[in-house]
Every structure is written in structure tokens, then in C-alpha cells.
Structure 1
């Protein structure tokens, strides 16, 4: 068992930290809204810290899951930041979906302090976090990865080292680009089936067993047909992630014509008030044109 800290108790971090505690690890937590940290401690035990630094003190591994690059810097750096509470030869594992640049930036600072850094964005959404079956894509050194993997396994189905620091974030970008295309294709298919007056439950049951099958179809096909979107991975967050992909594509020269188009569709969903709707809400543009 390890002494760990978890910084950021949002819809992902709260259950992820809970799985660590349930598996017997000694967990301290921090959240910007302190009441949420206190609620977590009441439910799972452990302790909370008034600052990221205090929560991280004494931890062998610090996990972090916040919103974006700037949020990450705000909890890691400075006198009250995570690095200020960590000691040499400990490991910071960042689960934030952020840029590869900020991963490399924080890794360089960590090395100056003899701290190990791993960028480790996740896929699987809130349900994956709650059920402990996330997919974790890691960038960092093998030795540090080998230390954190058995602990990260507590909330994961797969924890994989993809390469040096930044590789986890780059892999997550690939993931989000693929999802955007899948959801748009599925939206058009579901809307077409509805317009053709097919029994869409039967349609989904049949085609999900063939070449068209996907996680999105099995988990979102039915709710898309019913026009239900008040759950899941928010459009706001998807657009943030796609923005990271676009910035990286400018550097590596990869063309993303379809992804840019789908991002515009998500902007239209936001204009309809769907900022917090699930990403499957792309179908709303077709059902209500």
C-alpha cells in the first residue's frame, strides 16, 4: 500500500480517489472547493489539505486531475503548489487532459527538484471513473511508470506507457479526434434511421454486432434517439480538447478537415445552450434543424 495524494475532486477525480482508498491506500485530497474535499473524507476516510502543498506532503505518489493547462500550473507551481509539498524521488501523475507542451514544461521543473513526472490523461468518462475501468495513456520514464502502475490500476482497466513525457497527451488527442468523427457518423446514422421510421432499438441491437459497432453506439445510440443529453462528457470539455488537437496539428502538420467541421457543429450545440450536454448531442442539430 502507498501513501498517495489526489488533487482535484471533480466528476473524474472524486471517484478515482475513492477507488484508491477502497483498495487500502492512504489517501490525502485537495479540492479548490474545500467542502467537496471534506465530503470526500467523510465518505472515504483519509485527510484533506487546505492547499495542494499540504495535501501532497508525505505522499509517495501524487495524482492530479483538473481542467486545463492553466488550472494545472495553478495547483502544481508556487509556494502552495504540489511540487512545494513533494520530496525527491516521488512521482507526480497528471490525469488532466492538457497540452503536450505543459507536460514537458512541468517535467523539466520536476527534474530540477529530482521529482518524477508522468502525463496520464484518461478515457472512459465519468462512468469509467465511477466503475474503475478507465483507460490511462502515459508519458514518462519506464522506472517511474513501473512504480505508479499498480496504484493507478485501482481505477483503471488499462494503464499503458506510450513513450516519453508528452506521449500520453498526444495519445489522448488521437482518441478525441477519433471520437469526434465516430459521434458525427453515429448521429447521422441514428437520425437517418429515425427519419426512415425504423425501430431504432432493433437497429442498434443488430448493427452493433457488426462492423459498425462501437462504444459510442452501444452506450449512446439509444439516448441519442431519445434526445437525452443531460449526462456524460460535456461539449465544453470536448471543444477544449479539440482546441488542443488543433494547436498540436499546426506544429506537426497533420490535417484535420473533418475534425474542424465537427468542432463547428459543437459550437452550434453550445449556441443552443448545450454547453454541458454530452458529446452525443451532435444529433440534436439533425433532429431539430
Structure 2
């Protein structure tokens, strides 16, 4: 298929690459043009100078940018992706954004007879690079069936969960779970080190039981080595948690652990850890 991919960050860059490697004709756009040039050199696709130009002629347009404002900036307006799309095509948004902007974009797409899916992903940079992302999708069944086979190029698991906005709400649940899990792991590692335990050996045991988690399996070694210059940045986690906390307020739902861990991440930022991996909560405990 002829597709376009807008946004070549740590996630979008390899995701677009998987599409090209699977045989699709991929045209990319990135606000920093050099990143698009680097991508074309690596994957042999094409690049466009505007989101509109990238979307022209594409059957599917994928977007993966930073937040609601970034999303609107590349989708809307005279040079936005929607301006270049034709009726019957599909816009797939992989950005972690609000459910509000997802519903807003769906309404605008519907007015142009364009399909829309909000489809945030989980799995981090490694999941994107290895084509092993989990994709949470909101939208209608017919639109999903058009896009799902193509999303499988970089997916480990993909599921339609409900109407537009549902994918973003599911991603909020995902981030709420991660916040609590990482804080628990950080406290356990800190406790074990203070107690003089061989934490590596302990994790080998407890990871085979009920305490097991992705964070434990994939982050305990780097945490014990005080290595955080990689992975999903604290700045982005705080952005995601802010979305979840705002949605919670709108729903009348209290999220006390999430709010507390968000403030712990603010402490990490104050330590200069804005771009550290989210597992850096341990560094806060050890300061």
C-alpha cells in the first residue's frame, strides 16, 4: 500500500521503517528535516516537505508526535495531513494524547469521509525497534479492518476496544499501572540494597512469582547499575500522567498513587533527570 508516516521520533522512526521493510511505499514527514533525510537514507522510502504533501495519495496516514498541540499542528490547517487526504482513506494516530483530541479529529475526519483511529502504543523504544508494540485502538470496526493488517508490521498485539477515544483511555490505564509498578520496583530495589541483599539474585527468584512484571524483567539490572540514559523519558511520562490525572478529574475518579508518583517524577526532573528513563525513580530514593 501507499502510506505516509508523520513524526519520526524514537517510536515513529522504527515504526515507519517496519512499514517500508514490509513492502509498503512509505512517504515520511518530520519537523526536523534532517531526521527524515536520515530515515530515507536508511530505509529507501521518500520524504515530503509538509504533512499535506506526505498524505497526498496515501491510503493510510500514520501520525506519532508528542502531544495534543503537536498533533493538531501536523493534522490541521492548510498544510496539515487532512488537507492532503481523500475520502475513503484512513488517519491512524499513534500519539499518546487526550481522548478529547481523538474525538475532535474523528469528527473532522468524518466530515471529509475519512476514517480515523486513535491507536496509542505501548512497548517503548525497544518494542518499536523490534516490531513488538501493543496497540490500543478506538474507532469503528470497518476502519479498523482497513488499518489492522498494516499495523501488524510493528505490532505484537493489536485490538479495537471501542469507539473513538477508547484507545487513549486505555493508554491512560496503561500509564497508571506503570507508574505504580515502577515506584514499587524502585522501593524494593532500594530496600534490598540497604539490607545488603544480592538484589540480582533476589529478582531472579521473585520474578518467577507473583511480583513479576515487565519493569522488573527489563529494568532491574540498569536500575541496580544506576544507568538511566535511555528508554522512555521522565518528561514524556509526566505528560502522559497529566493527561490521565486530568481525565480522572473529569470522571470524578481519584488517582492518589498516580498523583503521588507524578510528583516523584517532578523530583527526578529537579535532579536534572528530564530525559532519564522512567525507572530513575530509584535515583530519587538514593539521593
* TM-score, normalised with respect to structure 1: 0.99
Number of residue-to-residue matches in the alignment: 287
> Deviations 1:68-100 (Å, cap 9, x if unpaired)?
000000000011000001000100000000000
Specify every segment of 5 or more residues in structure 1 that has no aligned partner in the other structure, as ranges. none
> Deviations 1:174-204 (Å, cap 9, x if unpaired)?
0000000000000000110111111111111
State the match for 1:207 in structure 2: 206
In structure 2, distance between residues paired with 1:11 and 1:128: 11
What are the equivalent positions in structure 2 for 1:88-99 lying under 5 Å apart? 88-99=87-98
RMSD, matched Cα: 0.6
> Deviations 1:21-60 (Å, cap 9, x if unpaired)?
0110110000001111111111111210000000111000
Helix, strand or coil for the counterpart of 1:92? strand
Once the two structures are TM-superposed, the CA of residue 234 in structure 1 deviates from its matched residue by 0.4
Is 1:30–1:51's contact at 8 Å kept on the other side of the alignment? Answer: yes
Helix, strand or coil for the counterpart of 2:9? coil
State the match for 1:13 in structure 2: 12
What are the equivalent positions in structure 2 for 1:4-83 lying under 5 Å apart? 4-83=3-82
In structure 2, distance between residues paired with 1:112 and 1:212: 48
Once the two structures are TM-superposed, the CA of residue 287 in structure 1 deviates from its matched residue by 1.5
Is 1:121–1:169's contact at 8 Å kept on the other side of the alignment? Answer: yes
Task: List, as ranges, runs of 4+ consecutive aligned residues in structure 1 with deviation greater than 3 Å.
Answer: none
Specify every segment of 5 or more residues in structure 2 that has no aligned partner in the other structure, as ranges. none
State the match for 1:175 in structure 2: 174
Once the two structures are TM-superposed, the CA of residue 246 in structure 1 deviates from its matched residue by 0.9
Helix, strand or coil for the counterpart of 2:158? strand
In structure 2, distance between residues paired with 1:217 and 1:287: 18
State the match for 1:106 in structure 2: 105
What are the equivalent positions in structure 2 for 1:1-289 lying under 5 Å apart? 2-288=1-287
In structure 2, distance between residues paired with 1:189 and 1:225: 11
Is 1:100–1:166's contact at 8 Å kept on the other side of the alignment? Answer: yes
In structure 2, distance between residues paired with 1:273 and 1:65: 26
Helix, strand or coil for the counterpart of 1:117? strand
Is 1:200–1:222's contact at 8 Å kept on the other side of the alignment? Answer: no
In structure 2, distance between residues paired with 1:176 and 1:97: 10
